């Protein structure tokens, strides 16, 4: 090397992961929802930098209440909540195979990290390595027919035997059948919970949960001890699809929650497959609707494997019905509100409002706050 040559520059080491306490503080700060948190992370790179900027008077992109909440998070109720959760995590992690992965952890699943509303924290129990492998999500009706459950078990086993991980939501019916089939193959299974990872729901799946904890992987974004709440299950569906390359709907009625997972998959750029059924079967209506919209019709594991290998993919997204957007945003106003209160203001059923809020959350128009409340973004 000549004297005038410039020595090669050593690559910078990756930034050290932020302390778990910082991630908990960001996730538990009142009035700061997931979308706001992601926006701040894009700007400041780490929770610690966000808090430092807030203490120095940060207000860009935040309303005054959010800025005050971030600045005050080192003391008071937020600090108490963080300390309580850290203590609970320390006890929970005394058992082997239990981890908490923050968004910046090297073992955080890369496919999920790439989604716009990835959880800030994932509680993981079991074979965490499954989260980084090729996966297919399988979902369907809780009140599955015998044929539907058999289809789910058979397909999940066949796909797992090729090494594909099967992801589902641990519900009764199709979800449970998919997990059971996947455990019979080499690929294994990942169950995404809508509760705290230490809360088994439904109780009828206790034996299945215990087996998945040993042979597969359990995942939750919710703090330890979080009890079942109806609003949490549609939200966890984005993790099911976010962990997978595609989503297969095995059996679903026209208004099934499984269709929420399919819509979330579309928003995340995943393909959607559906199994057809009898034109007279109620539990086939949702699958038929997806196929009409462009979902790939599948009848066997080979159909799925061919599609994942690069055959013409999935679903052309149908134009959504957005007539509810302005009325719901007007009902929400400038202050946070619960879905139940919005349902009362709009004169609608609670499930309808929850579905509308999920669509607005995906569109970045509202965000979910700790405690299940919603607020408008950019207000």
pLDDT along the chain (379 residues), means of 10: 36 62 94 88 90 78 80 86 96 96 96 92 97 95 92 96 96 96 97 97 97 98 95 90 94 82 83 89 88 89 89 44 74 86 87 78 77 76
Res 301: pLDDT: 92
Instruction: Decide: 354 and 25 in contact? Cβ < 8 Å.
Output: no
The residue whose two tokens read 């700790």 is: 370
Cα–Cα dist 142/133, whole Å: 27
Instruction: Decide: 373 and 339 in contact? Cβ < 8 Å.
Output: no
Q: Cα-flanking dihedrals φ and ψ of residue 230, to 5°?
A: -60, -35
Q: Is 251 helix (H, G, I), strand (E, B) or coil?
A: strand
Q: Cα-flanking dihedrals φ and ψ of residue 3, to 5°?
A: -60, -30
Res 11: pLDDT: 36
Cα–Cα dist 109/300, whole Å: 28
Domain 124-246+253-263 part of CATH 3.40.50.450: yes
Q: Facing residues of 45 across strands?
A: none
Instruction: Decide: 144 and 118 in contact? Cβ < 8 Å.
Output: no
| Fold for the domain defined by 325-376 | Arc Repressor Mutant, subunit A (1.10.10)
Q: What is the pTM of this model?
A: 0.83
The β-bridge relationship of strands 165-168 and 189-192 is: parallel
Cα–Cα dist 328/336, whole Å: 13
Please tell me the chain's helix, strand, coil percentages from 3-state DSSP, rounded to the nearest 5: 45, 15, 40
Domain range summary for the chain, segments of one domain joined by +: 14-92, 124-246+253-263, 325-376
Res 133: pLDDT: 94
């Amino acid at each position: 090397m000549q004297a005038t040559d410039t020595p090669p520059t050593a690559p910078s080491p990756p930034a050290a992961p932020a302390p778990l306490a910082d991630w908990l503080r960001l996730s538990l700060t009142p009035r700061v929802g997931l979308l706001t948190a992601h926006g701040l992370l894009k700007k400041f790179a780490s929770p610690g930098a966000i808090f430092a900027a807030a203490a120095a008077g940060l207000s860009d992109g935040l309303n005054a209440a959010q800025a005050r909440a971030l600045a005050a998070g080192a003391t008071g109720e937020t600090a108490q909540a963080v300390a309580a959760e850290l203590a609970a995590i320390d006890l929970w992690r005394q058992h082997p195979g239990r981890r908490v992965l923050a968004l910046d952890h090297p073992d955080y699943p890369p496919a999920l990290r790439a989604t716009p509303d990835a959880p800030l924290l994932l509680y993981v129990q079991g074979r965490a390595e499954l989260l980084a492998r090729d996966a297919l999500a399988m979902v369907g009706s809780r009140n599955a027919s015998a044929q539907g459950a058999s289809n789910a078990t058979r397909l999940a086993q066949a796909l797992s035997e090729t090494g594909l991980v099967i992801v589902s939501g641990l519900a009764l019916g199709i979800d449970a059948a998919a997990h059971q089939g996947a455990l019979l193959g080499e690929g294994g299974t990942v169950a995404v919970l809508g509760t705290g990872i230490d809360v088994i729901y439904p109780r009828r799946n206790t034996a299945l949960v215990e087996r998945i904890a040993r042979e597969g992987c359990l995942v939750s974004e919710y703090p330890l001890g979080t009890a079942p709440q109806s609003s949490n299950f549609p939200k966890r569906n984005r993790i099911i699809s976010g962990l997978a390359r595609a989503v297969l709907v095995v059996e679903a009625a026209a208004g099934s929650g499984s269709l929420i997972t399919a819509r979330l998959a579309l928003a995340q750029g995943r393909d959607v497959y559906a199994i057809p059924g009898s034109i007279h079967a109620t539990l086939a209506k949702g699958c038929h609707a997806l196929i009409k919209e462009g979902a790939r019709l599948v009848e066997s594991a080979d159909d799925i494997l061919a599609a994942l290998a690069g055959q013409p993919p999935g679903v052309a997204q149908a134009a959504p019905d957005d007539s509810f957007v302005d009325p719901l945003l007007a009902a929400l106003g400038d202050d946070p509100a619960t879905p139940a209160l919005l349902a009362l203001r709009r004169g609608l059923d609670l499930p309808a409002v929850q579905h509308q809020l999920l669509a607005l959350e995906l569109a970045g128009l509202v965000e979910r706050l700790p405690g299940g409340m919603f607020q408008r973004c950019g207000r």
